[in-house]
A = this chain, B = another copy of it.
Amino acid sequence: MSKNSISNSVIRRLPRYYRFLGELEHNGYVRISSRELSEKMGLTASQIRQDFNCFGEFGQQGYGYNVSDLRQEIGKILGLDKQTPMILLGAGNLGTAIATHIDFNNKGFDLIAAFDANPDIVGKKLGELTVKSVDELSSFCAENKPVAAILCVPMSAAEKLVNTLIACGIKGFWNFTHYDMKVKHKDVAVENVHLGDSLTTLSYGLNDFIKEK
């Protein structure tokens, strides 16, 4: 089945399957039935079977899934067998937390550089990286050809920076700003992380629990 025919909601579930299967493998599971997996994950067994069928035949009726094979296959679909070179833009609090908290190599990426516009931050150590000045961005990209970028810059800097990055060959953005780049740039992959929106959504969910003040 071609990639384009896989629905977005199935794709959204894949990272979670991948994580769960990794935990199962770690705990010594060799095979697992869709029913067992469904109980552990809080999904229905038929949902799981449908999802996996999108990618081909993984299970065998009555034998369940081979945990390691299935995980590896989902990893390939997600592109985790690659190491895409990635750069960080903005090494303030959030950028620093992202750079030091995330296990990039296990997510299909290799964080090769970090940039900031603030002279007080340039030169700072960030794990094994040293923060570079954003003035070096174009020459760095010409030489090292990063394909993906993490955006942790202020909203005011985002639009111009995205134009520069796309001109430098960046094809994928992990976007922590509120700049909505898909409106102008259709031909890049964008994954938005709107932390503020996420907190706002929690506020909605909590509304039921809070007494009117």
Contact = CB atoms under 8 A, between A and B. Distances in A.
Contacts of A171: 206, 209-210
Listed from nearest, the 8 A-B pairs whose CB atoms lie closest are: A189-B205, A97-B97, A15-B197, A108-B203, A191-B202, A15-B200, A171-B209, A172-B206
A152 to B, nearest CB: 9
A101 B209 CA distance: 26
Contacts of A80: 200, 203
A107 interface: yes
Interface size class of A (residues with CB under 8 A): 35 or more
B147 A199 contact: no
Interface of A: 3, 11-12, 14-16, 18-19, 40-42, 77-80, 82, 84, 93-94, 96-98, 100-104, 107-109, 147-148, 171-174, 178, 180, 182-183, 189-191, 193-210, 213
B197 A19 contact: yes
13 contacts: A11-B201, A12-B201, A15-B198, A15-B201, A41-B183, A79-B204, A82-B213, A94-B97, A103-B196, A107-B203, A108-B199, A147-B210, A174-B202
A107 B196 contact: yes
A206 B147 contact: yes
Given A183-B42, A194-B15, A209-B171, A202 B82 contact: no
Q: Report copies per complex.
A: 2
A119 B121 CA distance: 28
Given A191-B199, A196-B103, A204 B97 contact: no
B102 A93 contact: no
A153 to B, nearest CB: 12
Contact of A189 (B101, B108, B209): B209
